[in-house]
Amino acid sequence: GQQVMQIPQYQHVQEGEDFTTYCNSSTTLSNIQWYKQRPGGHPVFLIQLVKSGEVKKQKRLTFQFGEAKKNSSLHITATQTTDVGTYFCAGGKGFQKLVFGTGTRLLVSP
Amino acid sequence: DAGVIQSPRHEVTEMGQEVTLRCKPISGHDYLFWYRQTMMRGLELLIYFNNNVPIDDSGMPEDRFSAKMPNASFSTLKIQPSEPRDSAVYFCASTDRGQAFFGQGTRLTVV
């Protein structure tokens, strides 16, 4: 079945450092979504990418969808303690089956 | 809208007992997903519905798990009999083909 892997599994950075998580799918995706889950919380939608090679920005966050639509990345510039949480990518074929990646847990020290 | 509502928030039960988790999706959303989250296995898709019809239940771990969606505003996930390895946080999410909205989750502990 479809598998979506993320690396790294865990990253600990100092506040102000950059952070990147990578998402790789075993199959071509129709779209990719990114979610953030705070400790003890539930996943919250961040963004959706649909087009091959698409790049979107939200303040300090930059999201990219690969040309082959099988991989994606999330880059955070100058992390803040409020960025702490687990970041998931999610995607599927034809949208319907929303399969989540393994997640990257980010810890930010002040 | 109050968002996706799950109940109960916490459930502690003894091994062998039946457990029923409930979900009320956002009105107008035609897709409903059930996920299970554990440290070891991450966020697993168990089953999803479209217009109340189960589309893919390949993620349901065993016959002990069953899910229903009798109408557009209600879904249940039942485990019978429950086992300690079923302990996890169970999330329900709904969507209208855009972003998925998650409920607060049900933390299930089977002792």
Alpha-carbon distance B38 to nearest alpha carbon in chain A (angstroms): 11
pLDDT of residue B98: 78
Per this entry, what is the length of chain B? 111
Could you read off the pLDDT of B58-109 as tens digits, one per residue?
999 889 999 999 999 999 999 999 999 999 999 999 997 778 999 999 999 9
Q: Is the pLDDT of residue A95 over 80?
A: no
Q: Could you say which of A1, A90, A101 has the minimum Cβ distance to residue B58?
A: A1
Name the strand (E) or helix (H) holding A24.
strand A19-25
What contacts B32, CB < 8 A, 6 or more positions away?
A: B23, B25, B48, B49, B69, B75, B92, B93, B94
A96: pLDDT strictly greater than 90: no
Partners of A68 in beta bridges: none
Lookup: tokens for B94: 């709904």
Q: Is the pLDDT of residue B8 over 70?
A: yes
Does residue A29 carry a pLDDT above 70? Answer: yes
Give the whole-angstrom CA distance, residue A79 versus residue A59.
11
> Taking an 8 Å Cβ-Cβ cutoff, which residues of chain B contact chain A?
31, 33, 35, 42-43, 45, 48, 50, 55-56, 58, 91, 93, 95, 97-105
Instruction: Look over chain B and give the mean of its residue pLDDT values, rounded to a whole number.
Output: 95
